[in-house]
Amino acid sequence: MTTEVQDASDPRAARTFPRFVRAIAAAYGDTPAVTLAGQTLPDEAMSFAGLESQSAELARGLIARGAGKGSRIGFIHGNGPAFVRVFAAIARIGAVAVPISTLIKADELVRVLRQSDVQGLIVQRSLLGHDFVARLCDALPELREATGPDLRIDRAPYLRWIVSSGDALPATIQPMSALTDAAASVSDTLLQAVEAEVHPTDQIVEIYTSGSMALPKGVRHLHGPVLFRTAYLADITERTRYPQFPISLPLFWVGGLGLLLLPTLAVGGTSLCTEGTATNSLSAMGTVLSEKDLEPMAQSRPFWGLGMSETFGPYSYGDVLRAPGHPLCAPIDHIAEGYEVRVVDAEGQPVADGGTGEIQVRGVALTPGLHKLERADYFTPDGYYRTGDLGLIEGNRIHFVGRDGDMIKAAGSNVSPAEVEMEMQQLEGIHSAYVIGLPDAERGQFIVAAVVPREGAVLDFDQVQATLRKRLSSYKVPRAYVAITREEVPMLPSNKVARRQIAAMMAKALDRPA
């Protein structure tokens, strides 16, 4: 399959976002582009033509404020027309859009604002009862103390202005009208001239993930590669079959933005948003799922394999949803267009058939780098990204066997949590298990398991452990167990199980260090 669109009027041919947003407006006009079914907010709908005109007004307001090529503009918005409008306004003038999680807490918000170097911030006042202006003021008390909107804050040294929707704003935060009123001073001719200088090689977005690092990790992506991926994903997912498409993942995360929203816009579909986005451990990515939990996932194609923020979504897919003995995700049977994948050992040499090594990836839509981080720390000299994912080679197929950082080192041996979880899930009465290593002075790590029982089941963990000792090497068998409910399984916005939170839960329950 080759994603190549020749018709310049087709939005999938666009290679910069200003061309894309004008193309979808011309192609789809008054068709609803994005809708919001509100819970604490009013319902809202925005057409493709409305997206173009409303984002143009906001873009002109940003230009009037001095924003332009390379300006770093953050925004905190939930899923819905407002998110798409703000993103489009920032991107179409060549500024860098920095979406910030609506789940972010005060201390982490300070770290993201400082690490990202944003000079302006656009805020949705509230979402599901959460007041983001209050959260900002908790993070930066200076916002309550200062008397004017020109910001000078040591902990966010580049931040100069904040605008927000809503009423009763502090003097340091201006209403959205500060941008929209200024738009009248910038003509559409000037906006078009600005847009003409936006190139495929310019940065469009920077997506922040916490990962395992002390500082948030800003993943850069460029106009051309993002829109190349948009066209590819619209094609391979046959998005034209779905005139309405639910946006079930947060738009501030690459899954919501790159995999769901942009391909739907490209083909003229309506993106259906709600205030909240569902995370569900029954469909968690990178986790051992039961056969029943996998059944709904088997209805949609392709069977996506691995992907990450750095690759702007999935870069592989499989012929089957799960291969026997490899329960974490679909096998790598096919590589997405524009990518190359290899598996190497610790010395960077290719792994032979039957061997396990780190999966590395390079390609057209791979991030060119991480903001303020040394490229050599994450990329090989020949341009491959070190994913930290472990792959087992089986002929022409690669199986994902876990994250290098998730492997448990117990009694001098490596233990794969997935292998233990898969065995536990076969036992009567166990629906799901999450195997974690806690620090241990003697063994290196002490293996424990958080267990979700099947409905109505009462588990005897002594019997569970005895059965596992018959099926697994002794060093792989968990030494302590805690029963938890499905609702207690902590989830990340990316619909992955938050294993570090499980480790903290287990440490507290077992009175051990985390």
Q: How many percent of the chain have pLDDT more than 90?
A: 74
pTM of the model as a whole: 0.84
At residue 93, does pLDDT exceed 70?
A: yes
Tens of pLDDT along 193-211? 999 999 999 999 999 986 4
At residue 493, does pLDDT exceed 70?
A: no
Cβ within 8 Å of residue 116, ≥6 positions away: 72, 74, 98, 206, 208, 216, 218, 371
The stretch 286-313 carries a mean pLDDT of 80
- Residue-wise DSSP of 373-414: S-GGGTB-TTS-EEEEEEEEEETTEEEEEEEGGG-EEETTEE
At residue 2, does pLDDT exceed 50?
A: no
pLDDT band at 403 (very low <50, low <70, confident <90, very high): confident
- Residue-wise DSSP of 277-309: ----GGG-BTS---HHHHTGGGGSSSEE--EEG
Task: Give me the CATH topology for the region 407-510.
Answer: GMP Synthetase; Chain A, domain 3 (3.30.300)
Label residues 295-312 b or e (16+ Cβ within 10 Å = b): eeeeeeebbbbbbbbbbb
Tens of pLDDT along 426-481? 899 999 999 999 998 888 899 999 999 999 999 999 999 999 999 888 889 999 99
How far, in Å, CA of 486 to CA of 144, rounded?
A: 40
pLDDT band at 141 (very low <50, low <70, confident <90, very high): very high
The stretch 352-368 carries a mean pLDDT of 96
At residue 280, does pLDDT exceed 60?
A: no
Q: Give the per-residue pLDDT at 281.
A: 57
Q: Rounded to 5 degrees, what are φ and ψ at 113?
A: -60, -40
The secondary element (H helix, E strand) that includes residue 253 is none
Is the CB of residue 75 less than 8 Å from the CB of residue 123? yes
At residue 9, does pLDDT exceed 90?
A: no
Q: How many percent of the chain have pLDDT more than 70?
A: 94
Give the tokens for residue 354.
């039957």
The stretch 372-385 carries a mean pLDDT of 95
Lowest mean pLDDT across 54-63, 315-324, 349-358, 400-409: 400-409
How far, in Å, CA of 310 to CA of 369, rounded?
A: 9
CA 493 to chain centre: 7
The stretch 355-378 carries a mean pLDDT of 95
Write out the residue limits of the CATH 3.30.300.30 domain(s) in the chain: 407-510
Q: How many CA atoms lie within 13 A of 210 on its CB side?
A: 14
Q: Give the per-residue pLDDT at 7.
A: 62
How far, in Å, CA of 163 to CA of 201, rounded?
A: 29
* Residues paired with 344 in a beta bridge: 350, 358
How far, in Å, CA of 354 to CA of 290, rounded?
A: 26
At residue 301, does pLDDT exceed 80?
A: no
pLDDT band at 82 (very low <50, low <70, confident <90, very high): very high
pLDDT band at 324 (very low <50, low <70, confident <90, very high): confident
Considering the segment(s) 11-274 as one domain, its CATH architecture is 3-Layer(aba) Sandwich (3.40)
The stretch 135-154 carries a mean pLDDT of 94
Is the CB of residue 503 less than 8 Å from the CB of residue 482? no
Considering the segment(s) 281-404 as one domain, its CATH architecture is Roll (2.30)
How far, in Å, CA of 215 to CA of 114, rounded?
A: 10
Write out the residue limits of the CATH 2.30.38.10 domain(s) in the chain: 281-404
Is the CB of residue 256 less than 8 Å from the CB of residue 277? yes
Is the CB of residue 450 less than 8 Å from the CB of residue 463? no
Q: What is the DSSP letter of 350?
A: B
Q: Give the per-residue pLDDT at 164.
A: 97
Closest by CA position to 163, among listed 133, 122, 127: 122
The stretch 220-231 carries a mean pLDDT of 98
How far, in Å, CA of 9 to CA of 27, rounded?
A: 8
Q: How many CA atoms lie within 13 A of 404 on its CB side?
A: 15
